[in-house]
Amino acid sequence: MTRALSGKIALVTGASRGIGRAIAMRLAGEGATVAVHYHSAEDAAKQTVDDIVSAGGAGFALQADLSATGGAATLAERLSAELVARFRSPQFDILVNNAGLSKRATIEDVTEEDFDRLLQTNLKSPFFLIKALLPHLRNGGRIVNVSSMGTRSAYPLMAAYAPAKAGLEALSRLLAQHLGPRQITVNSVLPGATATDMNVTARDPVASRAVAGTIALGRVGQPDDIAKVVAFLASDAGGWVTGQQIDASGGQRL
């Protein structure tokens, strides 16, 4: 039986753990060869690749610091070189901009250094990674940008994070129009409270109960809940969806 992404090549940023790892595993499970990007968690990235291979998939790890100026260019160069070495072509099909950096602080406690780092990681690096890789993204390809439901609901502790993610959503919408003639879809996925390393509250058995009370479906999300949505958007089944902000929060703060 042919899998939905057989023959496709995907890059997932921030894929060593959490939502990114779940996305990488899901895309590989659907048949894609997955480039697992990481910043510093080399062992975790290698474990993700090992798990992909053990499950019958294909993948490889790539390191780059997307919180630094020039990190996107480095990742684009490394991806292209690896694809040429493996497939004799730098072309690929799916880009998932998942890597993110958060700081829980109100505006009074956000420094200019904090703001610059969050903007670099959550908006500037995805922007320039897309720009660098567009010549190699096949017509009919997919771009999925992982945002946050914090862009549609007021969380004062996301004073820098939410505006950066809102910018990523605006970029997604305009790129959907711009890349439509190439049949490339561009969408944003907005997770809510999801049990990952980045969200300690959602992982805590006690604290997560209070959060679950704000969610229509009555529980916090798991990384694979988000991965399923991304896999749909990456597949042919999602080919008529573009320029959208897909809320994947279980109905948090409706």
Active site residues: 161
- Among left, alpha and beta (phi > 0; psi -120 to 50; other), residue 201 is alpha
Nearest Cα neighbor of 160 from 124, 97, 106 is 106
Measure the CA–CA gap between 226 and 201, rounded to whole angstroms. 18
Q: Which two tokens stand for residue 76?
A: 């684009």
82: number of Cβ within 10 Å: 16
Nearest Cα neighbor of 67 from 35, 43, 45, 99 is 99
Q: What is the distance, to the nearest Å, from the Cα of residue 195 to the centroid of all Cα atoms in its chain?
A: 16
Residue 242 near residue 183 (C-beta atoms within 8 A)? no
What are the residue ranges of helices labelled H in 88-234? 112-119, 125-133, 161-179, 200-203, 207-212, 223-234
